Structure 1
């Protein structure tokens, strides 16, 4: 991917290797700065910033409250002759729990000079769920037949809303929020089950709502097989353990 930003008399052009990236992956590329004038120009700072932004603020073209994830100064105090240019390589290692791209926003590359946060080029990035978490989620949807409604960022977590299958196993379960994260090597899972039932208020039967929650922390020696492959048997065991709290004690 490529994007160009003009700030007279300079042209900044960023090139990025790839189109999509996973949490925990590496984003890298080159940034070229060119003097478009007929005079020598001194450039104080050239930088690339990895930041999270909300689409609405960007679309409204107001002040964007960027959440800076990482910053790289690629050049300082350089002199460019007329028509001269310099190219620097850069790279960012994405954290395993960095924000994914969702409908609300995502990660951007901001590039330019000292005022890059307010006056600079920008390139939006497509960040997907970590492959291990993708496998965990696939186990939920294929082995247990839950339907994924959406994925979105929730602080340092990724929130997934799942709808249960129509079966006698989950007659009272409306849906479950599953919050996923890999942090310090640990696979963190928090389940929030939203359930309905019948209760009595005086002589009337009413629908009652309740919530049940469970947290799990799975070490890498459990969720990874030799060679770094995901252990789906481990995923099934942990998901099944969590789902037990959403099942009725007696199934008719």
Structure 2
């Protein structure tokens, strides 16, 4: 009887030992409770950097020219309003620095255009032209990955070219006068690739009032010039 009990107990112990030896292998075969690592998030586009580009577009507005003469000639007080519509094109360069979603920048541009009008008053013909303009501006933008909307504003520069002739005597003189004004607007940029940036921009420019007094054969003639323009541009730039 005792021997049967011992044999039974030995069998139970042997069975338990076998089960314990199988436990690690069974646990190893069970699926892990750990989740796979999350995929890396795509990196957002960085607007920080130097860029160079070209732009083209159209400007429209009005130039106002008033003629007066201290010698009392017939055209004293004559005033003209003429169109300043013109195609334009040029180049620009700038630098952006991105802090979070806000982008700070500075940009300069120079453009060729063709604004000109001949004014005829009794006794005088005046030709007023502008063939270039430039600006230096600050920019503040809000970036949405590869899209950025921005506002811009700063100083604008141009040159007025005067060709004046007394139609009675044939005497003539010419002069160039530089003028500084201001410009402001807004636009949107899109990073088509990591280096290629496309853009569209609207700007308003005001050159204020320019007074010119003839000092040659047309001594006594005074010209007062006022110029305001709107412009819409498309641009492409390369960011380094």
Normalising by structure 2, report the TM-score: 0.32
Higher relative contact order (CA 8 A, sep 6+): 2
Question: Higher strand proportion, which one?
Answer: 2
Instruction: Tell me which structure has the larger Cα radius of gyration.
Output: 2
